[in-house]
Structure 1
Amino acid sequence: MLEGVNVALGVTGSIAAVKTVELAHELRRQGAKVRGVMTGSAQGIIHPWAVEFATENDVVTEITGSVEHVELCGYDGWADVLLIAPATANTVGKIAGAVDDTPVTTTATTALGADVPVVIAPAMHEPMYDHPGVLEAIDTVADWGVDFVDPRIEEGKAKIASEAAIVTDVARAAGDRSLEDEHVVVTSGATGESIDPVRVLTNRSSGKMGRAVARACYARGADVTLVHGFVGPQPVTQDADLPETDDDGNVPYATVEHVESASEMLEATREACETADTLVSAAAIGDYTVEPSAEKIRSGQELTLSLEPTPKLIDEVRGERPELPIVGFKTETSGDETAMIEQARRTLERAGLAFVVANDASVMGAERTTALLVHDEDAARYEGTKAGLAGEIADSVAAITGS
């Protein structure tokens, strides 16, 4: 996500500075080169050697005759983006007032003057975050084009955002924003059809692919609506927790509409697509529904379920939005790529899709995938992570929309 991006990482005197080492590692895992800049207060919480270890670069702890702030973030400076994480209330207020009395605030003033993108991840106690002066400072700096990664409000604290959220906002700030001003709707996860108040018909979709597509589109500048269903049954070895979500199941890179049944997903998607520029239909939507029992069905008896087909979401949306670019997904179990391409082309032609992503059911819940991006005239094979495939899909969406 951050291949080739140079990140100047400003660290200030919040206790959340203890997370800086892992944040720096994650930025580098995503492909970035990182150089640290620390305030004196930050150095009282985490030693500069730790940041040096995490970044494998010297750390700026004071501004000297070498004008480190200009070398990093001046005109033609080293950094593609300045990330301040964590940022204290004190630091945000100083940036808003152009007060340059720490290496971090001096570097921030330089970056803003040189039009280097700046991303700020606040971390402080909740009463400080609610202070009118702090909120005014945030609004002021945001009006200058600075991106804020909203903190997680928990236990009376405005805790620093997750690493995934910070990395995604850094990618959005530093990227070419090929989907700027585009509204992309992504469906994700499985649907569930109630049999009774306890049991449901569902499938094994984890929603990882759809969430990765939503995140990739956001990183390219899009406004994203994520229509998300169940997270299907997974082996106990799979981590069911989604670290980027808050307690309400929301994610920092999209507006989330939570749904359960196929009919709920269709209605939520229809509504979202009224203002959409593109739909990526990655959800594994149930093909059948059933009339549910009002009471729990007792076990031990023979049971016959009468299944009714559910409407095809992409066909329904296509009928209402004839010109909307739609990306479809087609899952097969044969393992035969020729057959997968044939089935994908049938779907592509029937619904007038932009392209279809075809894959084998064996990748459900996995981090890696093998897929075929099937267009009218050709098919491209992809093998790698779902995040990587999501990037390919987002780039293809950008090419289609001409953003």
Structure 2
Amino acid sequence: MSLAQRRILLGVSGGIAAYKSCELVRRLRDLGAHVRVVMTENATRFVTPTTFQALSGEAVRTSLWDESAEAAMGHIELARWAERVLIAPASADLMARLAHGHANDLLTTLCLATAAPVYLAPAMNQQMWAHAATQANLATLRSRGVHILGPAAGDQACGEVGSGRMLEPHELREAIVASFGDRVLQGKKVVVSAGPTYEDIDPVRFIGNRSSGRMGFAVAEAAAQAGAQVTLVAGPVTLATPHGVAERIDVRSAAQMHAAVTKAAADADIYIGAAAVGDYRPNAVSEHKLKKQSGSDLTLQLAENPDILASLSAQRVHPFLVGFAAETQNVESYARDKLQRKGLDMIAANQVGHGLGFETADNAITLYWPDGSAELPRADKASLAHQLIERIATRYKAVRG
């Protein structure tokens, strides 16, 4: 990945998430980007311009009425300089002003004056995000070609929980990197499955696993950014739909995931099975909660779940198949066995356990295909997903043309 010599104008509006934008500047510069920062007046109440100046190595602009800059039409110069305009955080107020074409400060003025693509990373209270006015402004901005990145769901500074968190700096950086990259899957239809599956025992208990879905969601977003039309089949997770994903189908059980994937993959070019699908389910689901019987054990009779990858591979015509193998030991041996036994085109293998794979922000993967392999070293899952998509695209073209 590289942003060498790329010119990124970072707009910062007022909101507590402004502190994350400091790390965002550093991450963009780490990839070689030139970053200039424009702050709204309210943003300066959260982070000082001096901080951004030190991090970016560039003078920070905060006012349309900077006489020294505007003598040379500084807002027009900034608008022309930028290859990408990224506003993070984008407050509800900032989005409203942009949607209505206001130009009452430097940031909104240059957004009207630039020909560069504009990206917004919303950040606000979950109720503000859900408000009809905000959603109407969002629809207006999207209709005009503004790119919306996020928001994510989770704990908020106000103490509430829900959608409205600004995406993390590494996620925003990946989106900007992808915006410059080759669209290696342009025109392809890709199905991605992600997350765990849950198999009900009774109305309150189930058998599940520790998959968070983050890797699969990152893969879906990376595929979309590479130009693919992406359908995401998601198990029970609390993750926002990735930017650019065309369709999301939520399921709970392995049987439901099997049915959804089979239907979606019927006309797909590539299927990436990143979900941690349960191998077994209870033979019968109790209509009522099973009661504890003191002094006795409980035995569950389990039935095997359908194998999604194997069933797709058995079809006469099927997509390019990419499996995942999460192993605690003998990773290469088990992965290559799964690759051959299920008739896959490629498999992404990783070791799981304490601090590895599940429930972590980063990962490491080894890719295997019938006549080769490649190491993808440990990195955050968004970065890893982009590398994985590039490798999949290369193998797809080699095998399918």
Q: For the superposition of Structure 1 and Structure 2, which TM-score range results when normalised by the shorter chain?
A: 0.7 to 0.9
- The reply on whether 1:52 has 2:53 as its aligned counterpart is yes
Quote the offset at 1:327 in angstroms. 0.7
Q: Which amino acid aligns with 2:357?
A: M
Q: Say whether the 8 Å CA contact 2:149–2:167 is kept in structure 1.
A: no
Q: Which amino acid aligns with 1:103?
A: L
Q: Once superposed, which parts of structure 1, at least 4 consecutive aligned residues long, lie more than 6 Å away? A: 96-99, 152-155
Alpha carbons of structure 1 residues 194 and 279: separation in structure 2 relative to 1, 3 Å: same
Taking structure 2 as the reference length, the TM-score comes to: 0.75
In the alignment, which of 277, 289, 307 is matched to residue 281 of structure 2?
289
SS in 2 for 1:213: helix
Name the structure 2 match of 1:355: 346
Name the structure 2 match of 1:302: 297
Name the structure 2 match of 1:29: 27
Q: Which amino acid aligns with 2:304?
A: P
Give the whole-Å Cα distance in 2 for the aligned partners of 1:380 and 1:264: 33
Map residues 17-166 of structure 1 onto 2, 5 A cutoff: 18-26=16-24, 28-29=26-27, 31=30, 33=33, 34-40=35-41, 42-43=43-44, 46-61=47-62, 62=66, 63-69=69-75, 71-74=77-80, 77=81, 79-87=82-90, 102-112=105-115, 116-121=116-121, 126=128, 130=132, 135=136, 139=140, 142-149=142-149, 161-163=166-168, 166=172
In the alignment, which of 357, 370, 373 is matched to residue 376 of structure 1?
370
Alpha carbons of structure 1 residues 92 and 19: separation in structure 2 relative to 1, 3 Å: closer
SS in 1 for 2:38: strand
Map residues 320-399 of structure 1 onto 2, 5 A cutoff: 322-335=317-330, 337=332, 339-340=333-334, 342-347=336-341, 350-351=342-343, 353-362=344-353, 363-365=356-358, 366-385=360-379, 386-399=381-394
Q: Say whether the 8 Å CA contact 1:121–1:149 is kept in structure 2.
A: yes
SS in 2 for 1:372: strand
Map residues 215-254 of structure 1 onto 2, 5 A cutoff: 215-230=221-236, 245=239, 250-252=241-243, 254=245
Q: Which amino acid aligns with 1:261?
A: S
Name the structure 1 match of 2:200: 194
In the alignment, which of 179, 184, 192 is matched to residue 185 of structure 2?
179
Alpha carbons of structure 1 residues 325 and 342: separation in structure 2 relative to 1, 3 Å: closer
Q: Say whether the 8 Å CA contact 1:218–1:253 is kept in structure 2.
A: yes
In the alignment, which of 240, 263, 273 is matched to residue 265 of structure 2?
273
SS in 1 for 2:114: helix
Structure 2, unmatched stretches of 5+, are none
Residue deviations 1:168-189, cap 9 Å, x none?
Answer: 5444434333334443221122
Quote the offset at 1:314 in angstroms. 1.1
SS in 1 for 2:300: coil
Taking structure 1 as the reference length, the TM-score comes to: 0.75
Task: Note the aligned Cα RMSD (angstroms).
Answer: 3.9
Alpha carbons of structure 1 residues 375 and 360: separation in structure 2 relative to 1, 3 Å: same
- The reply on whether 1:257 has 2:263 as its aligned counterpart is no
Give the whole-Å Cα distance in 2 for the aligned partners of 1:341 and 1:264: 25
Quote the offset at 1:82 in angstroms. 0.6
Quote the offset at 1:336 in angstroms. 5.7
Residue deviations 1:199-231, cap 9 Å, x none?
Answer: 333333333322232232233343433222256
Q: Which amino acid aligns with 1:343?
A: D
Which stretch shifts more, 292-301 or 370-379?
Answer: 292-301
Q: Say whether the 8 Å CA contact 2:312–2:318 is kept in structure 1.
A: no
Which stretch shifts more, 165-174 or 188-197?
Answer: 165-174
Structure 1, unmatched stretches of 5+, are 232-241
Q: Say whether the 8 Å CA contact 2:49–2:60 is kept in structure 1.
A: yes
Give the whole-Å Cα distance in 1 for the aligned partners of 2:25 and 2:268: 31
Q: State, as a whole percentage, how many aligned pairs show the same letter.
A: 30
SS in 2 for 1:191: coil
Alpha carbons of structure 1 residues 135 and 201: separation in structure 2 relative to 1, 3 Å: closer
Give the whole-Å Cα distance in 2 for the aligned partners of 1:317 and 1:27: 44
Give the whole-Å Cα distance in 1 for the aligned partners of 2:106 and 2:331: 58
> What is the total number of aligned residue pairs between the two structures?
372
